[in-house]
Structure 1
């Protein structure tokens, strides 16, 4: 079980790092904390749970890259319903993995 969690955390972290490189020149609604680390938001259209903010791997990646990821997972909705809710709300995350809804 822990191996799956670490794999999920590692995959999400690496995805974030790659996406950060692709979006470095684009505008974003990300925030920068007092320590100079930018926080990006991401929605993933698959069931899961948020990674704790005190996760050692995420903190090391944040220190080395200057970026942190705040992810949101599916919770009791289909991927199409969740994407529809995001669109209706008008508050878009920096990254969206829409699953089959895209």
Structure 2
């Protein structure tokens, strides 16, 4: 389900975030942004594969690992395997049709 919540993302640079089962967007116009929606749908699949809670645990642990190593918050975020998979495939609108189970592991 796609929800637009400008207040939730108001003071951030985030255009969209997935908090299972919701895709939360900052701007209503982004409902038409197929690439952004595909990126967030990739995260939904990742979350389901890891039974949601393990996704969030892994995500936070991996983020802090990269943050300590790289010492740059944005680069640490972009280095997370889940984000790497989503960014690498967000433009392929058929990606989820052919995606294999636990494909994010290729991006570790």
Task: Pick 1 or 2: higher relative contact order, CA cutoff 8 A, min separation 6.
Answer: 1
Bigger strand fraction: 1
Given the two structures, how large is their TM-score scaled by the length of structure 1?
0.26
More helix by share: 2
